[in-house]
Amino acid sequence: MDSHLPEPEPLRALIDALRRLPGVGVRSARRMAYHLMQHDLAGAQLLSHALTGALQDLRHCRMCNSFAEEDICPTCVNPKRDASVLCVVETPADQNMIESSHGYRGLYYVLMGRLAPLEGVGPQALKFDRLLERASDGVVKEVILATNFTAEGETTAHYLSDMLTERGLSVTRLARGVPAGSELEYVDAGTIAWALMERRKA
Amino acid sequence: MDSHLPEPEPLRALIDALRRLPGVGVRSARRMAYHLMQHDLAGAQLLSHALTGALQDLRHCRMCNSFAEEDICPTCVNPKRDASVLCVVETPADQNMIESSHGYRGLYYVLMGRLAPLEGVGPQALKFDRLLERASDGVVKEVILATNFTAEGETTAHYLSDMLTERGLSVTRLARGVPAGSELEYVDAGTIAWALMERRKA
Ligand SMILES: [Zn+2]
Ligand SMILES: [Zn+2]
């Protein structure tokens, strides 16, 4: 059904740009563009401003590398947090997940990615030297590696573990196992295998 | 799980703005914002420019009211189209659907909405006087009402039919009936009822 009438160039450009958003194909992009231009010019204005604002004002916290407006983010300057523990995550979303567990009161370091040699993302692209410097401040005693339990996340954790252990830091990894609340019948075999290997005294 | 770390203001503003897009909730808006700011700053730049560009350069065709860059759109100036027939649709998307049927070579008029008294959308908001003027150019002989077969689309068609018939124009409506290629068993009863009432000689 793509025998469309010629679309005006500014509309076509907007549709193309909206397709850069994750999960947005050409159909939704067209629906979004039409919606904004037909019914929500103020929303289009707002979104344009918000993008410019974020591009201009959003930076990375000098301590944790997460998004921040300030030089150092509110989490890193919070005196109530335990500065002797540093939790390394891939993304701000992962950081939020850990925060929402209410099980952690230490500080964070956000890699903003993971090692992915096939995509050309190596230790330099992820600025591992900055993490090393951060973890070697003399206050941090333990580094918890909370990268994902995917192939790339594991590779990243292994690499970081070697690098940080060499500096005499205590390095731990999030425990693998059966998810809380789940029935064994529905847990995948690999997880069961891990849970067996890492079984603990009841 | 919404015990988030405080989000930097420019990021929060971007997430809010992305939520104005149709079909985008807070979760996808956050995912989109993070994606742009982590992995696609160029995409963010592009989208901001595209929005500004569309807001600045997109106008409505003086003849058909659809989106256009020019004063009059390429469809309306196309000498190969039959200027004696005018097809009235609710949106540019509907216009595209009709165009893709390859069953129409006349011109269009795009309402950019439909009568919705409950939302305060009346004949004035839709500038029906412009359509009346357009249809009364002396060249148009037949107006095909192709508004949706929803309650609001039908109301709009009835209103326009009265208005245009009064001016001595021949007004028709798209045929209702069983969709091409469908099995009767799976067609809804209302459609069957219409198809019976509007049955034609075989
Ligand atoms: Zn920080
Ligand atoms: Zn036109």
The amino acid present at B50, given as its one-letter code, is A
Residue A40, both tokens: 């929500």
Q: Which structural domain range is residue A155 located in? A: 81-173
pLDDT, tens digit, 9 for 90 and up, residues A109-130: 999 999 998 888 899 888 899 9
Chain B residues with beta carbon closer than 8 angstroms to that of A13: 50, 53-54
For residue A142, give the nearest of A76, A80, A86, A63 by alpha carbon.
Answer: A86
Q: Kind and range of the H or E element at B112? A: none
Q: How confident is the model at residue A191 (pLDDT cuts 50, 70, 90)?
A: confident
Which of helix, strand or coil describes residue B79?
A: coil
Minimal CA separation from A111 to chain B, in Å: 10
Cβ–Cβ contact B100 with A under 8 A = yes
Q: How confident is the model at residue A1 (pLDDT cuts 50, 70, 90)?
A: very low
State residue A198's pLDDT score.
77
State residue A19's pLDDT score.
97
State residue B190's pLDDT score.
80
Chain B residues with beta carbon closer than 8 angstroms to that of A93: 30-31, 34
Cβ neighbours around A179 below 10 Å, total: 9
State residue B195's pLDDT score.
73
Between A60 and A196, the more confident residue is A60
Spell out, as residue ranges, where chain B has pLDDT lower than 50.
1-2
In a domain, residue A180? The reply is no
Whether the Cβ atoms of residue B86 and residue B141 lie closer than 8 Å to each other? no
Give the residue carrying structure tokens 């103020």: A42
| Across A162-188, average pLDDT | 84
Whole-number Å distance between alpha carbons of B30 and A51? 13
| Percent share of chain A, pLDDT over 70 | 97
| Across A173-188, average pLDDT | 78
Residue B110: give its domain's CATH number.
Answer: 3.40.1360.10
In a domain, residue B190? The reply is no
In a domain, residue B159? The reply is yes
In a domain, residue A167? The reply is yes
In a domain, residue A144? The reply is yes
Indicate whether A2 pLDDT > 50.
Answer: no
pTM, rounded to two decimals: 0.76
Residue A163, both tokens: 């690098």
List B residues 132-151 in contact with A (Cβ-Cβ < 8 A).
Answer: none
In a domain, residue B158? The reply is yes
Minimal CA separation from A39 to chain B, in Å: 9
Cβ neighbours around A169 below 10 Å, total: 17
| Across A92-105, average pLDDT | 84
In a domain, residue A199? The reply is no
Distances (CA, A) of B57 to A27, B46, B49: 22, 16, 12
Torsion-angle region of A80 (φ positive above 0: left; ψ -120 to 50: alpha; else: beta): alpha
Farthest-apart Cα atoms in chain A, separation: 69
- Residues near ion ligand 2 (Cβ under 5 Å): B 61, 63-64, 73, 76
pLDDT, tens digit, 9 for 90 and up, residues A10-64: 999 999 999 999 999 999 999 999 999 988 999 999 999 999 999 999 999 999 9
In a domain, residue B37? The reply is no
For every residue of A106-172, DSSP letters joined together read EEEEE-SS--BGGGTB-TTTTTHHHHHHHHTSSS--EEEE---SSHHHHHHHHHHHHHHHTTT-EEE
The amino acid present at A168, given as its one-letter code, is G
The amino acid present at A152, given as its one-letter code, is E
Indicate whether A67 pLDDT > 90.
Answer: yes
State residue B137's pLDDT score.
94
Q: How many domains does chain A fold into?
A: 1
Whether the Cβ atoms of residue B108 and residue B66 lie closer than 8 Å to each other? yes
Indicate whether A180 pLDDT > 90.
Answer: no
With CB atoms and an 8 Å threshold, state whether B67 touches A11: yes
Q: Kind and range of the H or E element at A191? A: helix A189-197
